[in-house]
Amino acid sequence: MTQEGMLIGTPGYISPEQARGSLRIDARADQFSLGCVLFACLTGRAPFRGEDLVGVLAKILFQETPRVRAERPDVPGEIEAILLKAMAKDPADRFADATAMARALRKARSRLLAESVSAPSLVVANTPATTPGISAREARLLAMLIVGRGAVDEAPEDASFLVERFGGVGERL
């Protein structure tokens, strides 16, 4: 059972307004959390880390939002801009709603998929030629989060294409 003022969620992924214990939290807090999840998918680590709960919350509240391109320069600037907007410290600076964030992600996806034919290194980060420090015998865990609206058994139209193109196993949650 939850109670008013109770901290809910994984500390490194909660929004600043949740970290402050604000009683006025809306759906934009979820955008912040999703931005953090996408950051972790792209970099392999949470954007805000610390040795303990207080350290993590302090970073969420006072540290500048980390830039994904500082760790992954191959991530397109358009994706970084979406993440920075989603993880803005002030909810008023985030997307107006989830639909607006989804629209921005779809637009970026469409543009990047169209460009991937001419610039595969923007999308493929799992081969020795495009990933420094990974030998042909090593493997890197790659996670993709594909969000779609529709029936549970209805996969997003490009999900099988992505699994086929990059290898691996697709799993519906």
3-class DSSP string for 85-151: HHCCCCHHHCCCCHHHHHHHHHHHHHHHHHHCCCCHHHCCCCCCCCCCCCCCCCCCCCCCCCCCCCC
Quick one: how far is CA 43 from the chain centroid?
Answer: 9
* pLDDT tens, residue by residue, 124-155: 444 444 445 555 555 555 666 666 665 555 55
Residue 161 to residues 140, 141, 157, 170, Cα–Cα distance (Å): 20, 19, 8, 10
**What integer pLDDT is reported at residue 126 of this predicted model?**
44
- 119 vs 40, more confident: 40
**What integer pLDDT is reported at residue 146 of this predicted model?**
64
* pLDDT tens, residue by residue, 58-93: 999 999 999 999 999 999 999 999 999 999 999 999
Q: Inform me whether the pLDDT recorded for 24 exceeds 50.
A: yes
Q: How many CA atoms lie within 13 A of 54 on its CB side?
A: 0
141 vs 169: CA distance, rounded Å: 11
Q: How confident is the model at residue 167 (pLDDT cuts 50, 70, 90)?
A: low
Mean pLDDT across the chain: 78
pTM exceeding 0.85:
no
Mean pLDDT confidence for 100-125:
73
Q: Inform me whether the pLDDT recorded for 43 exceeds 80.
A: yes
**What integer pLDDT is reported at residue 28 of this predicted model?**
93
**What integer pLDDT is reported at residue 84 of this predicted model?**
97
- Give percent helix, percent strand, percent coil of the chain, each to the nearest 5: 45, 0, 55
